[in-house]
Structure 1
Amino acid sequence: MKLTEMHFSEAQPVESYGAGFFKIGGQRVEGGMLVANESVQSWAGYEEIESLLALQGRVDVIFVGTGAEITHLPADMRQKIEQAGMGIEVMNSPSACRTYNVLAAEGRRVALAALPV
């Protein structure tokens, strides 16, 4: 699905997503991904919490896209992120991508960690 065109100053937008991939700033990422400011990298999922904790001080909220359906995060993952002073919002990946794009276009300090649909 192609997302609506917006203007971004520093953040990399999620341009589209599909079965097993995301397209961010012209770059196709297979599997899960993490995007924050100008950085885009693969993300292995809930087991890879260290890459999320490394965002401390750079972002205020991390949106977590759980794939096609919304699921709960492991309690210890949520607790560690909140203890690091960051908010965490969980939604399905399509909603997380759209929400991230809107807030990133507004210049907010947000990140997106998402699993593919």
Structure 2
Amino acid sequence: MKLHSDPQSSQNTITGYGIGFLEVNQTPYSHALIVQPEGEVLAWPVEEIQDLSEDHFSMISALLPELVIVGTGKKQVFLNPKILQPLIKAKIGFEMMDSQAACRTYNILMGEGRKVLAAILLEKD
């Protein structure tokens, strides 16, 4: 899937997504990412949905977003509330969706000026 960005924007826009890759500002990545409208695009140190732990969400919580969009790969997966405790305790909203939908949703919310964060797992073959 190719997404289009505003060439005048200095914000981090997800410009492409497919099996085994994610593209931010036309730079391809081959690993899970944490993307916010501003600042550095961060590697998210997780390979598979079943590897997610509370520590992964503590890392996200420390970035102080208003809303976290979690891209769970090819299919939407609802995560165990136990591992989401860092977000719940910090009163940070969150949504789980397949990664392709998460990319689109992040771009829309970012374009509206929301303090959104996308945590995207890549789709495997």
Does structure 2 conserve the Cα–Cα contact (< 8 Å) formed by 1:29 and 1:42? no
The higher radius of gyration belongs to 2
Amino acid at match of 2:78: H
Taking the aligned partners of 1:76 and 1:12, their CA distance within structure 2 comes to 30
TM-score normalised by length of structure 1:
0.87
- Number of residue pairs aligned between Structure 1 and Structure 2: 115
What is residue 11 of structure 2 aligned with on the other side?
Answer: 11
Mark the CA change 1:8 to 1:72 in structure 2 (over 3 Å): closer, same or farther. Answer: farther
Mark the CA change 1:8 to 1:77 in structure 2 (over 3 Å): closer, same or farther. Answer: farther
Percent identity over paired residues: 33
Task: Quote the offset at 1:7 in angstroms.
Answer: 6.8
Residues 1:80 and 2:80 are matched in the alignment: no
Does structure 1 conserve the Cα–Cα contact (< 8 Å) formed by 2:3 and 2:14? yes
- 1:53-92 superposed matches below 5 A: 53-56=61-64, 59-92=65-98
Taking the aligned partners of 1:8 and 1:92, their CA distance within structure 2 comes to 28
- The structure whose residues are more often strand, as a share, is 1
Backbone CA RMSD of aligned residues = 1.8
TM-score normalised by length of structure 2:
0.82
Taking the aligned partners of 2:115 and 2:69, their CA distance within structure 1 comes to 11
SS in 1 for 2:12: coil
